[in-house]
Amino acid sequence: MPLNIIVGAQWGDEGKGHITDRLAHDAAVVARYSGGDNAGHTVTIAGEIFKLHLIPSGIIHPGVVCLVGNGTVVNPAVLLREMDALAARGIGVEPERLKLSGGAHLITPAHIALDRAHERSRGKEAIGTTMRGIGPTYTDKARREGLRAELFADPAALAEALAVHVAAKNEALVGGYGESPIDAAAVIAEFASYAERLAPYLVDGPVLVDEALLRGDMVLAEGAQGTLLDIDHGTYPFVTSSSPTAGGAMTGLGVGPRMVDRVIGVAKAFTSRVGSGPFPTELDGAAAARLRGTGDKPWDEFGTTTGRPRRVGWLDLPILRHARRVNSLSELVLTKLDILSGLAEIPVCVAYELDGRRVESLPHDLKALARCRPIYEALPGWNQDVMGARRPADLPAAARWYIEFVSAGAGVPVSYTSVGPGREQFIVMD
């Protein structure tokens, strides 16, 4: 059995956690390959809600091994909190089930302080990051100055590396941004306790993945963020600092493309975005409130990680075509179809008007994207509640037509759709 990759096809929060959990029952290993606790993935089982930031969304299946891969950045305090919260709810997170790749990079309090200071210094140009220290940690990785999780196996080397790290970051924090310095001794003591707890979880990630694939087991790579937040293929500079697209799964787990079978793009039936940057189909006022919800429902469009209201708009086919292209998607999963129930008609953006011309694909240049005006086609809506649908035949004809229209417009088949957050609210399309 092969490697299957789940990627976000939009700006994140497409429902990747829900779909990963749903597809994980056939997997031996579920692995996160990029990002850190900027991600917030929700799994809902029999009304019980699990919010995961670092631990792969396969963890609720007792037989699945979960790997935090080398392409991720890990705040050990957050990882331990998440492990403790899951253990308290009876979910096994022992070293037999949960593995941390030695090549993953560690997020420290100095990275978080720098993320804050840098965002503040950008003023109106701020990215709107999650303030989890993601950018500064990947910056250190690229500068070859990062701290890898493998240091947990060598407490003396860890303390030494942290002393050098905090001293360097304090220069930037105090000298560059006029912020208070970080207390190196406190960080060293804190990380010594993390090392003690996390050392038993360390593995050589690429070996673990290779062994599973050689055994013939299925490995499910769980993407975080989304295609448009990718540092190469997203709306740069309003992106994250890693590669959430399918290519990131190769480097982020240490496996080559010959192993990949399916690349499953997850797209919401409309579009949402958190943070700054252009968003051609963005809505405001009552139309936005209708898609966002009030916050009463657990699935309303407020950030899992930050609680920020998400920006929302209609579905954008140029974005999905871009996602198909840069990920080589084999299929799409359309989530939150239930949210569209009750609309008289549903506009879908089929192309853009850019400087008086019709364009079918997402412009690479951000300034051009900001000038794009959506060209909509209005599809008929449906009134029935679809949350109880379990087969394509249970869906109203207009909902089935919506799915077919999206599939044709994106150029990729829709293999599943979801009609609610629950594990069972999932339809295998014909």
Q: Which residues bind ligand GDP (CB under 6 A)?
A: 8, 12-18, 40-42, 44, 298-299, 304, 335-336, 338-339, 418-421, 425
Return the number of the residue (137 or 304) whose C-beta is nearest Mg ion: 304
Return the number of the residue (170 or 335) whose C-beta is nearest Mg ion: 335
- Encoded one letter per residue, x for contact with Mg ion by CB under 5 A and - for no contact, window 280-319 reads ------------------------x---------------
Return the number of the residue (44 or 240) whose C-beta is nearest ligand GDP: 44
Return the number of the residue (72 or 304) whose C-beta is nearest ligand IMO: 304
Catalytic residue among 13, 21, 37, 230: 13
Distances from the Cα of 315 to the Cα of 109, 127, 379, 409, 410, angstroms: 38, 23, 11, 11, 11
- Encoded one letter per residue, x for contact with Mg ion by CB under 5 A and - for no contact, window 32-51 reads --------x-----------
Q: Which does 421 bind (CB under 5 to 8 A by kind): ligand GDP, ligand IMO, Mg ion, none?
A: ligand GDP
- Is the separation of the CB atoms in 324 and 410 below 8 Å? yes
CA separation for the pair 319, 364 (Å, rounded): 11
Q: Which does 130 bind (CB under 5 to 8 A by kind): ligand GDP, Mg ion, ligand IMO, none?
A: ligand IMO
Residue, CB closest to ligand IMO: 275
Binding site for ligand IMO (CB under 6 A): 8, 11-13, 38-41, 127-130, 132, 134-135, 224-226, 229, 240-241, 274-275, 304
Burial of 306 (0-12, 13-18, 19+ CB in 10 A): middle
| Binder among 4, 10, 11, 13 for Mg ion (CB under 5 A) | 13
Q: Which does 275 bind (CB under 5 to 8 A by kind): ligand IMO, Mg ion, ligand GDP, none?
A: ligand IMO
Site membership for Mg ion, residue 277 (CB under 5 A): no
Q: Which does 347 bind (CB under 5 to 8 A by kind): ligand GDP, Mg ion, ligand IMO, none?
A: none
- Is the separation of the CB atoms in 368 and 356 below 8 Å? no
13 catalytic, yes or no? yes
Site membership for Mg ion, residue 69 (CB under 5 A): no
The CB-of-398 to ligand IMO minimum distance in angstroms stands at 28
- What angle (nearest 5°) sits at the alpha carbon of residue 112, between those of residues 109 and 115? 155
Distances from the Cα of 331 to the Cα of 326, 327, 426, angstroms: 13, 10, 15
Contacts of 130 (CB under 8 A, 6+ apart): 37, 38, 305, 306
CB atoms within 10 A of CB 303: 16
118 catalytic, yes or no? no
- What angle (nearest 5°) sits at the alpha carbon of residue 116, between those of residues 115 and 119? 85
The CB-of-63 to Mg ion minimum distance in angstroms stands at 25
The CB-of-303 to ligand IMO minimum distance in angstroms stands at 7
The CB-of-154 to ligand IMO minimum distance in angstroms stands at 29
Q: Which does 44 bind (CB under 5 to 8 A by kind): Mg ion, ligand GDP, ligand IMO, none?
A: ligand GDP
Residues pairing with 347 in the sheet: 378
Segment (H or E) for 119: helix 109-122
Residue found under tokens 């990729």: 412
- Is the separation of the CB atoms in 42 and 49 below 8 Å? yes
The CB-of-401 to ligand GDP minimum distance in angstroms stands at 18
Coil/strand/helix, residue 189:
helix
Per DSSP, helices labelled H in 180-255 are 184-198, 205-215, 246-253
- Is the separation of the CB atoms in 242 and 231 below 8 Å? yes
Q: Which does 128 bind (CB under 5 to 8 A by kind): Mg ion, ligand IMO, ligand GDP, none?
A: ligand IMO
Segment (H or E) for 113: helix 109-122
Catalytic residue among 21, 37, 41, 115: 41
Catalytic residues: 13, 41
Residues near Mg ion, by CB under 5 A? 13, 40, 304
